[in-house]
A and B are shown apart, each in its own frame.
Chain A
Amino acid sequence: MKPPRFDYHAPRTIDEAVALLARYGGDAKPLAGGQSLVPLLNFRLARPAALIDLNRIPALAGIREVDGHVAFGAMTRQRAVEFSPVVARALPLLTEATRWVGHLPIRSRGTIGGSIAHADPSAEYPAVLTALDGIVIARGQKGERELTAAALFESYLTTTLAPDELLTEVRLPVMPAGAGWAFEEFARRHGDFALVGVAAALWRDGGRWTARLATAGAGPVPVRLRDAEAIIARDGVGEEAVAAAAARAAELVQPDGDLHASADYRRNLTRVLTGRALRKAVGRAK
């Protein structure tokens, strides 16, 4: 189990990386943290002509708070996210979600941009991006564009990024003061791929509640549970409303069955985890 041969490039700037991607015309893979790509190489499930190693591009790393957003350079390690006081204050949902990502030695290398660009349906960060209405910035030879989660995620491991486009930044809006949050997930063992995960955030605006809910693992792309959010907005956060929102959540997903869990089981997990996440978020809301 060793990687196949490939050309190796370690550019120092984003422009150089984009030019290299364009030169290989879709036959090159950007190497971020490598926690998903290198296993695929070792198994020879991926055989790119070239790897464009992004680890030596300083402009791609770092966490900045700007204009009501937190902007993450795509190469920001999950470990840096986990221990960031800025993230803990502004985006506690992301801090909690990060602890579900593999294990600490995986998070030492794994990156926020890599996780999102890889678009594994069971991954946590795509669900958080979806729940919080975040955007990603992609740079290609023709320039930059911004994409919402809905515009980015296409299917299993598939995004709408062009072959010469590099995901350079992830922007998440700061959660309102007093917001509650929870990331609930079920896997057979902690650190395994999620069978289903649910990201929840909610806050009160005057007398009305706003909820944000999205799934991981319950279909080919993260699912924003808008009809369940609407139940909370209409009926509040009492037990009856939470149970109704959770039941609705299960109707909004189209999970596939596989070796690990049937579609029905995943649908039921969506209900159970949505309920748990909402209850926990309500308990934390101020």
Chain B
Amino acid sequence: MTVRLKVNGMAREGRCPPRKLLVDFLREDLALTGTHVGCEHGICGACTILFNGEAARSCLLLAVQADGAELMTVEGLVRDGALHPLQEAFREHHGLQCGFCTPGMLLTALDLLRAHPEPTEDDIREGLSAVLCRCTGYHGIIKAVQAAAPRLR
């Protein structure tokens, strides 16, 4: 089936069978490998993207369901070669170690900060519990999101 969609503001198109997961379509058909494949059953959050502006697991969506949708992946955070304020904050506060969970963390955090522009530390902890960090480096990630919140308001 043909899938026409917008990814990071650009019109894209691909053909795939109905059973192809959206995360595999992004990585294999559109060569956007920033979105990571972790558990493939919605637990780890590494594949989180924005689907029509809302964070969602791309391993729990079929690519054909994204026909007509607007997506944002980690590649879409950079503007004119400059890191997104959230990415800057992750760098400043040691918010990544191996980097595997980082794309999912960033997009989950972006959605969280849009839904709750002035989050408490508890809000951030609860919100980020949607993504697992296999390095267990949560403290730096939480600090980074706290630091980014006022910059995104």
A19: interface (CB < 8 Å): no
Main secondary structure of the interface of B (DSSP, over half): mixed
A173: interface (CB < 8 Å): no
**Least CB separation from A191: chain B residue:** B129
A87: interface (CB < 8 Å): no
Q: Give every chain B residue within 8 A of A10 (Cβ-Cβ).
A: 64
Instruction: Please give the distance in Å from B127's CB to the nearest CB on chain A.
Output: 6
Q: Which of B49-81 contact A (CB under 8 A)?
A: 51, 54-57, 59-62, 64-65
Q: Give every chain A residue within 8 A of B51 (Cβ-Cβ).
A: 108-109
Instruction: Please give the distance in Å from B146's CB to the nearest CB on chain A.
Output: 17
A38 to B111, CA, bound (A): 22
Q: Give every chain B residue within 8 A of A41 (Cβ-Cβ).
A: 19
Q: Which of B7-15, B39-47, B84-92, B93-101 contacts A (4 or more CB under 8 A)?
A: B39-47
Q: Which of A78-108 contact B (CB under 8 A)?
A: 79, 83, 102-106, 108
Q: Give every chain B residue within 8 A of A156 (Cβ-Cβ).
A: none
A3: interface (CB < 8 Å): yes
Q: Could you tell me if B1 and A8 are in contact, using CB atoms closer than 8 angstroms?
A: yes
Instruction: Please give the distance in Å from B120's CB to the nearest CB on chain A.
Output: 14
Main secondary structure of the interface of A (DSSP, over half): loop
B137: interface (CB < 8 Å): no
**Least CB separation from A103: chain B residue:** B130
Tell me whether A190 and B129 are in contact in the complex, defined as CB-CB below 8 angstroms, given that A2-B19, A104-B111 are known contacts: yes
A79 to B127, CA, bound (A): 13
Q: Which of A187-244 contact B (CB under 8 A)?
A: 189-191
Instruction: Please give the distance in Å from B131's CB to the nearest CB on chain A.
Output: 8
A191 to B128, CA, bound (A): 11
Q: Could you tell me if A105 and B111 are in contact, using CB atoms closer than 8 angstroms?
A: yes
Other A-B pairs beyond A34-B65, A106-B42, 16, CB < 8 Å = A2-B21, A3-B62, A8-B1, A8-B62, A51-B18, A53-B62, A102-B130, A105-B48, A105-B54, A105-B55, A105-B111, A105-B130, A108-B111, A109-B56, A109-B57, A190-B129
Show the binding face of B for A, using Cβ within 8 Å: 1, 17-21, 24, 40-42, 45, 48, 51, 54-57, 59-62, 64-65, 108, 111-112, 115, 126-127, 129-130
Task: Give me 7 A-to-B residue pairs in the complex whose CB atoms sit less than 8 angstroms apart, sorted by A's number.
Answer: A6-B19, A42-B41, A102-B130, A103-B129, A104-B112, A108-B56, A108-B111
